[in-house]
């Protein structure tokens, strides 16, 4: 009994060893089922993307000389450890001797896996057949298409430029391109865009702006969806970390008053020392709450300046202010500067260094027409004024001095005839000041027959103060002409007496 059982055990062991040596065939049943095998397994694409569906094709072969047709009941794919199961198809039909069957399966994996393909069926003789085939699937991130994000230094509340570049390094074009930007920002301008195709080995750039509402670390995320030439839909996500800075609002306003053509011009310099552009700039000059002039200015990038002029003509001297309204970081701001409106410059002609020489009824006036104002004077004319007791006479009834610049002077000479009891002589000054003719009359005082004149306190400086001493004409009035005459007469009498005495002696 024992000797008869040993060959049977040896035969079963040999059958099992032969079955394992067939490379993936495990057969339970008649020996004819050993002719059923898994001819191969293919994966397309060979390196699928994570989460992307891919095709697995299983080829089942029924070799000739077997046990007739093979009825395929189950084909499924599991992890090499046994679980989980990824895909299963059932009741696929029969395979005749010498024929084969291709069974398509579709899987999706997040990462690379060691799998095993299983086939189950029965032969015509009723034998159960179980087959398995090892399968390794390499899952890789696609790198033929890449996405890059570039941003400038963002500031909270400002529009930050964002450039997204899509580079297609594949040998084939991609289509149905869909790009979407998502951020923690307050808003994204035109966050989504689509494009028909991107050619092989070419790039496409999309530009937009992002506005952040918080400072600190933020991110800009780009999600790109497209379709490959094979018809596979793919998606790529790219993130760019940014550090959002706080807003710096520093707008400087410098204003100075300049006199141009006889009126005030407010020359204002606006400088942006902040870290965001200054927009919608409006400037106005006002006094006592009343607007004098207003204008607009161009937008200012950080560390840029602009010069604006405001017209303040016909504004009386006094205090006022220049106000600038602008927008920065989506908020309205104001900066102001106090100013002083200057008085208009004017020419002012006065008589200085006046010398008076009077001989009988004739008076000779000599002196300077001095410009003590802040503007140049033109067409300066000095003349003897009309009076009942004063009459202009030749050779100098009037004297044309001409142009006298500010802080300069021009000489003049006048002659007039007076009657008794005249204490002053009127002199008229005429000149052009900023296109207007100015006329003014002053009285020059006379003292005795010959004395230096004095101008009025408002218009004429004292001649002795102007010249630093007495003029030669004034000194003539101080010579004792009477005593000199008596001396000359005495000398004449003495000479005559001596001559008479000599004649008598002879």
Percent of the chain with pLDDT over 70: 79
pLDDT, tens only, 268-296? 999 999 999 999 999 999 888 889 889 99
pLDDT score of 111 more than 60:
yes
pLDDT for 191 beyond 50: yes
Q: What is the pLDDT of residues 148-177, one digit of tens each?
A: 999 988 898 888 899 999 999 989 999 999
Local confidence band at 131 (pLDDT 50, 70, 90 cut-offs) = very high
Residue 187 has a pLDDT of 67
Position 353 confidence tier, pLDDT thresholds 50, 70, 90: confident
Q: What is the mean pLDDT of the chain?
A: 79
Q: What pLDDT, in 10s, does the model give residues 418-430?
A: 877 777 888 898 9
- How far are the Cα atoms of 84, 234, 303 from residue 46, in angstroms, in the given order? 22, 15, 56
pLDDT tier for residue 92 given thresholds of 50, 70 and 90: very high
Which regions of the chain carry the CATH code 2.60.40.1470?
A: 17-137
DSSP run (H or E) holding 482: helix 481-505
Kindly provide the b/e burial profile for residues 245-283, where b requires at least 16 CB atoms within 10 angstroms of the residue's own CB.
bebebebebebebeeeeeebbbebebbbebbbbbeebeb
Q: 17-137, what's its fold?
A: Immunoglobulin-like (2.60.40)
- As its CATH architecture, domain 251-341 has Sandwich (2.60)
Q: Helix or strand or coil: residue 475? A: helix
Mean pLDDT of 238-256: 90
d(CA 22, CA 133): 11
Least confident of 4-18, 67-81, 213-227, 442-456: 4-18
- CATH 2.60.40.10 residue window(s) in the chain: 145-244, 251-341, 349-473
Q: How confident is the model at residue 39 (pLDDT cuts 50, 70, 90)?
A: very high
Residue 300: is its pLDDT beyond 60?
yes
| DSSP strands (E only) in 80-185 | 85-95, 99-107, 113-123, 128-137, 145-151, 159-168, 174-183
pTM: 0.50
Question: Using CB atoms within 10 A of its CB, is residue 311 exposed (0-12), middle (13-18) or buried (19+)?
Answer: middle
pLDDT of 234 reads 84
Per-residue pLDDT band for 65 (boundaries 50, 70, 90) equals confident
Give me the CATH code for the 349-473 domain, please: 2.60.40.10
- What tens digit of pLDDT does each residue of 216-242 get? 888 899 999 999 888 888 888 899 888
DSSP string, 259-323: EETTEEEEEEEEEE-SSS-BEEEEEEEEETTEEEEEEEE--B-TT-EEEEEEE-TTPPSEEEEEE
pLDDT score at 90: 95
By percentage, how much of the chain surpasses pLDDT 90?
38
pLDDT mean over 469-477: 41
Q: Please give the Cα distance from 223 to 50 (Å, whole number).
A: 15
Chain segment 16-36, per-residue pLDDT in tens: 333 333 334 344 444 445 789
User: What architecture (CATH level 2) is domain 145-244?
Assistant: Sandwich (2.60)
């Amino acid at each position: 009994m024992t000797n008869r059982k040993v060959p049977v055990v040896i035969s079963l062991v040999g059958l099992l060893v032969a079955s394992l040596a067939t490379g993936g065939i495990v057969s339970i049943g008649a020996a004819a089922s050993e002719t059923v095998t898994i001819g191969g397994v293919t994966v397309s694409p060979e390196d699928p993307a994570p989460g992307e569906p891919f095709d697995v094709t299983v080829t089942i072969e029924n070799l000739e000389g077997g046990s007739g047709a093979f009825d395929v009941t189950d084909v499924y794919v599991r992890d090499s450890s046994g679980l989980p199961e990824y895909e299963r198809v059932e009741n696929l039909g029969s395979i005749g001797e010498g024929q084969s069957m291709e069974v398509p399966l579709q899987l999706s994996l997040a990462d690379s896996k060691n799998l095993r393909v299983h086939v189950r069926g029965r032969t015509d003789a009723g034998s159960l057949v179980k087959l398995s085939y090892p399968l390794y699937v390499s899952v890789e991130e696609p790198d033929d298409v890449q996405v890059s994000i570039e941003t400038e230094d963002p500031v909270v509340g400002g529009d930050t430029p964002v450039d997204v570049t899509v580079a297609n390094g594949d040998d084939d074009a991609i289509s149905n391109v869909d790009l979407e930007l998502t951020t923690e920002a307050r808003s994204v301008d035109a966050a989504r865009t689509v494009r028909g195709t991107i050619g092989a080995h070419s790039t496409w750039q999309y530009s937009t702006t992002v506005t952040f509402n918080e400072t600190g670390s933020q991110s800009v995320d780009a999600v790109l969806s497209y379709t490959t030439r094979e018809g596979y839909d793919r998606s790529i996500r790219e993130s760019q970390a940014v550090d959002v800075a706080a807003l710096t609002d520093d707008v400087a306003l410098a204003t100075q008053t300049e006199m141009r053509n006889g009126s005030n011009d407010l020359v204002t310099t606006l400088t942006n020392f902040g870290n965001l552009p200054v927009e919608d700039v409006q400037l106005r000059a006002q006094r006592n709450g009343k607007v004098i002039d207003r204008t607009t200015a161009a937008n200012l990038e950080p560390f840029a300046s602009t010069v604006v002029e405001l017209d303040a003509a016909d504004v009386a001297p006094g205090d006022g202010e220049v106000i600038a309204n602008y927008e920065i970081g989506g908020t309205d701001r104001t900066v102001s500067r106090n100013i002083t409106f200057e008085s208009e410059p004017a020419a002012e002609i006065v008589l200085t260094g006046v010398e008076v020489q009077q001989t009988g009824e004739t008076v000779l006036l000599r002196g300077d027409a001095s410009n003590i104002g802040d503007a140049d004077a033109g067409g300066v004319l000095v003349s003897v004024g009309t009076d009942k007791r004063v009459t202009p006479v030749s050779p100098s009834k009037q004297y044309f001095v001409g142009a006298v610049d500010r802080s300069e002077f021009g000489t003049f000479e006048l002659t007039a005839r007076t009657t008794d009891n005249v204490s002053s002589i009127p002199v008229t000054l005429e000149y052009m000041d900023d296109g207007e003719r100015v006329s003014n009359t002053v009285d020059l005082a006379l003292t005795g027959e010959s004395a230096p004149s004095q101008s009025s306190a408002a218009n004429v400086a004292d001649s002795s103060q102007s010249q630093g001493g007495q003029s030669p004409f004034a000194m003539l009035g101080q010579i004792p002409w009477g005593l000199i005459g008596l001396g000359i007469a005495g000398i004449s009498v003495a000479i005559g007496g001596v001559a008479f005495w000599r004649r008598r002696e002879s």
